[in-house]
């Protein structure tokens, strides 16, 4: 099984390939009686849609989910909520030549072996970044339900290649003045401009870049998550790796925390307005797998888009001989900006499940 995010109460069963008739998902376990705001779903999904800025792929996707079940007059009824998003503007012909010469660092080769050559190669098949569209739709719904509980999810581009944004901290997390550009969210606009330059350079060189996304969940109660195998870190990590191109995740101070002394990395407790919290948040809001009430903060490493326009070396799967390969078609030089809502969506689904 592969396409099911199965939580305690909530499950999201994703379906579709890049060039199948449509893609979509079935969300099971949503509480009945929740009004679903389609405009907000569309707005959220617009953040991952291509064509929002100069460097994203030219493929035109309207990405309007069509709801198939689970709603009565726009309100959840307790039955599984299913929706589909039509695939349009697909150019399968572009991909035919890739069938026997897998693209480096794509899933073409592993899928070929696993599915014995029957995998859908067109557009990356089920491994396409396009499959984050149903994830985003499901996440947008969960975000609406979370907001009613006072919980918000906030994220930004932490880095593109070696250009870093500011990190989340007590100020910028809660400062209501800070508005993140939904299509290229950074805390510091100057950093954003430098990032865009890096992306543009990569594009001009028919190359690509990756980056890191930082995400925070605010407003969580203390005590969420289970020890050991079902802690917050375990579950969020498991679900985040569903997003294509993700190769790492860290919570709180994460890998950088290993450079510190315990006395630096430990977070002293304090009391504010009768409420217990910690002075710093190197633990990223999770201790022993359980939420501490501090912002849950994690970062996600997104590798450079493997589809690049320069010549690479592949192998012909029939002849087992090396072959030069130049990937054609339309590709983002950097998928990080469009992956941001996907990260938020997965965080929202995961957290809502634990709260139900």
Residues of span 263-292 touching a second copy by CB under 8 A: 263-271, 274, 276, 278-279, 282-284, 286-292
User: Which of 178, 277 has the CB closer to a second copy?
Assistant: 277
User: Which of 62, 316 has the CB closer to a second copy?
Assistant: 316
**What does the angle CA 310 – CA 311 – CA 317 come to, to the nearest 5 degrees?**
135
Q: How far apart are CA 354 and CA 328, in angstroms?
A: 43
Q: Which of residues 102-121 bind a second copy (CB under 8 A)?
A: 102, 104-107, 109-111, 113-120
Binding a second copy (rule: CB under 8 A), the pick from 64, 91, 189, 247 is: 247
Q: Which residues contact 51 (CB under 8 A, 6 or more apart)?
A: 57, 58, 59, 60, 61
Contact call for residue 134 and a second copy (CB under 8 A): no
User: Which of 140, 237 has the CB closer to a second copy?
Assistant: 237
User: Which of 119, 191 has the CB closer to a second copy?
Assistant: 119
Q: How far apart are the first and last CA of the chain?
A: 24
Among candidates 221, 66, 37, 224, which has minimal Cα distance to 145? 37
Burial of 178 from C-beta contacts in 10 A (0-12 / 13-18 / 19+): middle
Q: How far apart are CA 272 and CA 278, in angstroms?
A: 9
Q: How far apart are CA 267 and CA 108, in angstroms?
A: 45
Q: What is the per-residue binding string for a second copy in 192-211, x denoting contact by CB under 8 A? A: ----------x--x-xxxxx
User: Which of 169, 266 has the CB closer to a second copy?
Assistant: 266
CB 17 within 8 A of CB 120: yes
Contact call for residue 20 and a second copy (CB under 8 A): yes
Q: How far is the CB of 263 from a second copy (least distance, A)?
A: 5
Q: How far is the CB of 176 from a second copy (least distance, A)?
A: 28
Binding a second copy (rule: CB under 8 A), the pick from 174, 313, 328, 330 is: 313
């Amino acid at each position: 099984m592969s396409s099911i995010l199965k939580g305690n109460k909530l499950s999201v069963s994703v379906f579709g390939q890049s060039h199948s008739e449509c893609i979509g998902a079935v969300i099971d376990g949503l509480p009945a009686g929740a009004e679903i705001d389609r405009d907000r779903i569309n707005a959220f999904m617009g953040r991952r849609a291509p064509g929002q800025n100069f460097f994203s792929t030219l493929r035109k996707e309207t990405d309007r989910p069509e709801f198939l079940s689970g709603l009565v007059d726009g309100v959840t009824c307790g039955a599984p909520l299913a929706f589909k998003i039509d695939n349009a503007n697909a150019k399968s012909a572009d991909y035919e030549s890739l069938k026997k010469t897998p693209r480096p660092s794509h899933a073409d080769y592993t899928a070929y072996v696993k599915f014995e050559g029957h995998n859908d190669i067109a557009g990356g098949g089920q491994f396409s970044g396009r499959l984050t569209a149903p994830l985003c739709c499901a996440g947008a719904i969960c975000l609406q339900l979370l907001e009613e509980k006072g919980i918000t999810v906030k994220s930004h581009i932490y880095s593109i290649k070696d250009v870093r944004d500011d990190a989340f901290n007590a100020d910028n997390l809660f400062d209501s003045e800070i508005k993140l550009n939904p299509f290229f969210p950074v805390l510091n606009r100057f950093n954003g401009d430098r990032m865009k330059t890096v992306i543009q350079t990569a594009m001009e060189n028919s190359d690509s870049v990756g980056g890191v996304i930082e995400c925070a969940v605010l407003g969580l109660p203390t005590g969420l998550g289970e020890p050991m195998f079902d802690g917050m870190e375990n579950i969020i990590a498991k679900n985040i790796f569903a997003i294509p191109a993700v190769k790492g995740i860290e919570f709180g101070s994460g890998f950088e925390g290993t450079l510190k002394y315990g006395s630096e990395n430990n977070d002293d407790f304090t009391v504010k307005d009768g409420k217990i919290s910690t002075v710093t948040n190197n633990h990223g809001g999770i201790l022993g797998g359980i939420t501490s009430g501090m912002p849950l903060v994690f970062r996600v490493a997104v590798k450079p888009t493997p589809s690049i326009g320069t010549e690479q070396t592949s192998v012909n799967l029939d002849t087992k001989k090396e072959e030069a390969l130049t990937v054609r078609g339309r590709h983002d030089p950097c998928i990080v900006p469009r992956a941001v809502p996907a990260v938020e969506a997965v965080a929202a689904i995961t957290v809502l499940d634990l709260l139900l």
